[in-house]
Amino acid sequence: MILISTPTSPFGRKVKIAAIVHGLKDRLTLEKGDPWTQGDILSRTNPLGKMPALVLDDGKAIYDSGVILDYFDTLLERPKLFPVERRLDTQVMHVLASGLMDAGILIAYERLRRPDEFCYQPWIDHQLAKLRRGLEHLTKNAPDPQVADAGSISLACALGYFDWRKQIDWRKEYPAMVDWLHAFSSAFPAFDATKAEH
């Protein structure tokens, strides 16, 4: 299978971590995609040009990261990314963490891709409010950091993305999440192994 992503995509990182932790890494070949280049392999594989995309052995392409994780579960002896016994809770956590990544990416794009004179602070503030509500909720409702399911992996990748792009000073504002990420990264070295060199 071919995984199309970039080293810095938090969505691609979650797929890489899932593959490593659950023994699927050797079945993946990584190929770099570029969402900003017309005709790139990414846009040829996923018409939306969003990362990541996974090309299966039969040539079929699937996307986005949540669908890829769900597909990974079909390759395992039993579902581990969306465990049957707590599938709904895991799905909700996965969507929350993925939403944090989405808001973080929108902030980054507003700051990096839009000319300074057109950067719209109320839009950034709107996205920051999502981050703060989400992180406040997670300080009391974080998933088990000793379990590598779709929710916990996605949350770790969101926090790692905030460390890189600095959308929010989450380490200062939400110290409980610092402890959570330390526990997760200690339990799953795949988190540090997939950290991009910026």
Q: Comparing C-alpha atoms, which of 1, 9, 23 is closest to residue 148?
A: 23
Do residues 151 and 116 both lie within one domain?
yes
Do residues 160 and 91 both lie within one domain?
yes
Q: Which pLDDT does position 53 carry in this prediction?
A: 98
Question: Pick from 38, 54, 75: which residue ends a domain?
Answer: 75
Is residue 10 domain-resident?
A: yes
Tell me the CATH number at 107: 1.20.1050.10
Give 9-62 pLDDT, tens digit per residue: 999 999 999 999 999 999 999 999 999 898 999 999 999 999 999 999 999 999
Q: What is the pTM of this model?
A: 0.96
- Taking 70 as the pLDDT cut, the residues of the chain under it are 198
Is residue 182 domain-resident?
A: yes
Cα angle for residues 31, 162, 126 (degrees, 5° grid): 115
Is residue 198 domain-resident?
A: no
Domain total in the chain: 2
Do residues 181 and 91 both lie within one domain?
yes
Q: Which pLDDT does position 173 carry in this prediction?
A: 98
Q: Which pLDDT does position 196 carry in this prediction?
A: 86
Task: Give me the domain span that covers residue 183.
Answer: 84-193
Q: Which pLDDT does position 149 carry in this prediction?
A: 98
